[in-house]
Chains A and B, each alone.
Chain A
Amino acid sequence: MKIALPIILVAVTAGLILLALTGAGNARGTVGIAGGSAVYGLTSKSTTPQQALNNLLVEVQRRHWDRAYDMLSKTSASDKQAFIQDWVGSNGSLRSFSSLEGFDPRPLHITDDQADMRVRLHWTTPVGPIEDVRDIHLVREGDVWKAVWPKFEIATVPAEVIPVTYLRWDLVSGGADDQWGSKNVDAPHVRIISMNAVDTAEGAVVMGEVVNEDTIPAFVNVNATLVDGAGNAIDDETSFDKIDHVLLPKQVTPYRIDFPTVNLKKVKNVRMDVKAALVPASADPVIGVMDQKLETDAQGKMVLHGALLNQSGQTVNIPHVIASFYDNSGKVVWVSDGYVDRALLPQSSEPFAVEIPKSLSATVHNFHVVVNQYSLGRS
């Protein structure tokens, strides 16, 4: 008995180690869990399309670029540098601050030597979790499957001089010893021009639009307080990043305020409060929103597609798209937003897509898109 117990423990431990080394490689990737081998150099053989894609994405997660690139088919159109840049981003884009947290692949179509897989990629980013869907083609080469990586164009811009002649507003504040009332500058005048509250599966949502009616830029934030029948506040939230905070004169922005745990049936009243402050700002860069179109994507979701065109001479590192959707009476029925994970280089464009709930697909009649932008090294 004295000898049997240690032997059993050693055998169980060895079994578990073996299971860990071999079993994880065959596991299906799920959100937040990296698949693949737990030990470097022990990746299981890609004998199925699922396994090939799984192995590839595990190496990408680990940023083992040599090993990941070796898993691509020779027929891939992308070179190694472009393949890496496809995953790690460049120019201070959102992708360059993100990491692949997990993936969720599923087969679309598989034959003996060809396969199409759809993978849902889960990224962790500074602006919260972001999902990305990619369709990947795989081929069988001998007894292993390999992904055919499409050509990824590394964004470049020709050398040129772009004169910037747009306005900039600076803020000069008075000293502490100024006489009372001698240097007061009023806060910008902004106004909520529409508000709508709806119930969704995720909770109550308050949305609408705000306009800067002033002749100076404004830093804007919208707060909403839900009030019950007895006049008590149920919840209080702000628009956070679902608004274009810096509004130039006469500019309009959508806003959306989420109340994740509140049902609108309990709400008797909504108290709105818009706060505006003076802020230095620049009218540059100008970003055009081109080719906006409502479409149903491959997953059956209704999305607003388009392309952002940077008409200025400055790189926009993280573009953020906010869209308001109207019904046929002009009422805002939804506000949606999305970050573009690639930087917007001068005079170049990047595609974007924002989703609309299926329940609103028949209601949406028109839309308006604004672009919020974050540029490194600029206020």
Chain B
Amino acid sequence: MSRLRLSCAMLCLLGVSAAQDIRVPNSPVVGEEASISVSGSGKATFYLFGPGTAHKADVNLGEEIDLQPNDLRRAGEYFAVICSGECHSASFYVAAAKPASLTFLVHPSRVPVAQGNAVSGVAIPFDQFRNLVLAPETINFQLTSGNASLLSRPVRTRDGIAWFRTASGKSAGAVQVVASLNDLSTRRALQQVASDPCNLRITGQRTAKGILVQTDPVHDCAGNPVPDGTIVTFTATAGSEKSTVDAPIKQDVARAQIIASGPAVISAASGVVMGNELRVGAR
């Protein structure tokens, strides 16, 4: 914008003759026709500078200068300059049109259940020419999991942006997040996943090959099954010897075969969560 002002100032400084009165449009909107009137008579050169726009035309003073919708496609401050001997300028602000699309960002795409302020969303309305709509609008944010509504909150945009922040729900699964503005709506999905395992418990028994040890069904503290593939580390300590197996959970249970013939103490851990200890006697 400062470049525009500089260009306009340079043009005006070059001017040397009689003054004209420029009347710019009042509250113009992008994509709409507008007109500029200039007093006086005779020929003049008209310049229009705006965001991403530079336009030059020969005009007759005293006649209306029509601006086509394509001349005002970008919202922002425009400068009209008339040069006929000397140059005169006037500025006007072109506002964005009504919202035509809604850009919606939701973070994160995966979130553990029951986490405070873990989910955030930002909605930004744009008009049909992709101008940010700065005029305050009310955007409704809705979070639903299955048929249950987790959140419904209207938020006024401020400087063209509306946002929310909320806690994650208690059930693992997909969550639909919708931002709507009048008849516009944008849908996003995020995945609520189980949190850290809770009450990790193991059982074991001797087999011909050694000790078969397995967890009880692994759930988080809200009762959600921990996803398959999550690693449970089994550790068997027999005297000064130790054996470990990193086994993935499959259908809620992790299993491992540990080779040990003597008495052993077996423990389990998943990430930073420890389970119970199990003592298995000698074969």
A interface residues with partner B (beta carbon < 8 Å): 165-167, 169, 179-182, 184-186, 193, 211-217, 248-252, 283, 286-294, 306, 309, 311, 367-371
Do the beta carbons of B108 and A292 come within 8 Å of each other? no
Given A181-B188, A185-B109, A288 contacting B240 (CB threshold 8 A): no
Do the beta carbons of B248 and A283 come within 8 Å of each other? yes
Report the Cα distance A251→B229, complex, angstroms.
10
Do the beta carbons of A370 and B246 come within 8 Å of each other? yes
Do the beta carbons of A251 and B246 come within 8 Å of each other? yes
Do the beta carbons of B248 and A166 come within 8 Å of each other? yes
* List of 6 A-B pairs having minimum Cβ-Cβ separation, nearest first: A250-B271, A283-B248, A167-B229, A288-B245, A181-B105, A251-B231
The answer to whether B183 has its CB under 8 Å from any CB of chain A is no
> Among the listed B103, B188, B233, B240, which residue makes an inter-chain contact with A294, where contact means beta carbons less than 8 Å apart?
B240
| Chain B residues near A294 (CB-CB < 8 A) | 240
Binary interface encoding of chain B residues 104-131 relative to chain A, with 1 for a CB under 8 A from any of its CBs, else 0: 1111111000000000000000000000
Do the beta carbons of A215 and B110 come within 8 Å of each other? yes
| Chain B residues near A293 (CB-CB < 8 A) | 240-242
Residues 230-277 of B contacting A (Cβ, < 8 Å): 230-233, 240-248, 250, 256-259, 270-273
State which size class the interface on B falls in.
Answer: 35 or more
> Among the listed A169, A212, A213, A288, which residue makes an inter-chain contact with B244, where contact means beta carbons less than 8 Å apart?
A288
Do the beta carbons of B257 and A249 come within 8 Å of each other? no
In chain A, what residue has the closest Cβ to B105? A181
Do the beta carbons of A216 and B243 come within 8 Å of each other? no
> Among the listed B243, B271, B272, which residue makes an inter-chain contact with A291, where contact means beta carbons less than 8 Å apart?
B243
Report the Cα distance A119→B215, complex, angstroms.
47
The answer to whether B227 has its CB under 8 Å from any CB of chain A is yes
Do the beta carbons of A165 and B272 come within 8 Å of each other? no
- Chain A min CB distance to B173 (Å): 12
Can you list 19 A-B contacts with CB-CB less than 8 angstroms, sorted by A residue number?
A: A166-B229, A167-B248, A180-B105, A181-B103, A181-B105, A184-B109, A186-B107, A186-B110, A212-B271, A250-B196, A250-B271, A251-B271, A252-B233, A289-B244, A293-B240, A293-B242, A306-B243, A309-B259, A369-B244
In chain B, what residue has the closest Cβ to A183? B109
Do the beta carbons of B109 and A180 come within 8 Å of each other? no
> Among the listed A186, A289, A367, A369, which residue makes an inter-chain contact with B109, where contact means beta carbons less than 8 Å apart?
A186
Do the beta carbons of A292 and B272 come within 8 Å of each other? no
Do the beta carbons of A292 and B231 come within 8 Å of each other? no
Report the Cα distance A248→B271, complex, angstroms.
10
| Chain B residues near A368 (CB-CB < 8 A) | 244
| Chain B residues near A371 (CB-CB < 8 A) | 246
Do the beta carbons of B272 and A166 come within 8 Å of each other? no
> Among the listed A165, A180, A250, A291, which residue makes an inter-chain contact with B231, where contact means beta carbons less than 8 Å apart?
A250
In chain A, what residue has the closest Cβ to B246? A251
Report the Cα distance A179→B124, complex, angstroms.
13
| Chain A residues near B108 (CB-CB < 8 A) | 186
Do the beta carbons of B110 and A216 come within 8 Å of each other? yes
| Chain B residues near A250 (CB-CB < 8 A) | 196-197, 230-232, 270-271, 273
The answer to whether B24 has its CB under 8 Å from any CB of chain A is no
Do the beta carbons of A248 and B227 come within 8 Å of each other? no
- Chain A min CB distance to B196 (Å): 8
The answer to whether B193 has its CB under 8 Å from any CB of chain A is yes
> Among the listed B103, B105, B107, B227, which residue makes an inter-chain contact with A249, where contact means beta carbons less than 8 Å apart?
B227
| Chain A residues near B104 (CB-CB < 8 A) | 181
Given A211-B272, A215-B194, A250-B270, A289 contacting B245 (CB threshold 8 A): yes
In chain A, what residue has the closest Cβ to B242? A292
| Chain A residues near B231 (CB-CB < 8 A) | 248-251
Report the Cα distance A182→B109, complex, angstroms.
10
Report the Cα distance A193→B110, complex, angstroms.
21
| Chain B residues near A288 (CB-CB < 8 A) | 243-245, 256-259
Do the beta carbons of A248 and B230 come within 8 Å of each other? yes
In chain B, what residue has the closest Cβ to A304? B242
Report the Cα distance A294→B245, complex, angstroms.
18
Do the beta carbons of A215 and B241 come within 8 Å of each other? no
Given A181-B103, A186-B107, A186-B108, A249 contacting B229 (CB threshold 8 A): yes
| Chain A residues near B194 (CB-CB < 8 A) | 215
Contacts beyond the supplied A288-B245, A311-B256: 11 A-B pairs with Cβ under 8 Å: A181-B188, A185-B110, A186-B109, A212-B271, A251-B271, A286-B245, A288-B244, A289-B243, A291-B243, A370-B246, A371-B246
- Chain A min CB distance to B144 (Å): 18
Report the Cα distance A248→B244, complex, angstroms.
16
| Chain B residues near A215 (CB-CB < 8 A) | 110, 193-194, 227, 229-230
Report the Cα distance A211→B271, complex, angstroms.
6
Do the beta carbons of A291 and B241 come within 8 Å of each other? yes
The answer to whether B66 has its CB under 8 Å from any CB of chain A is no
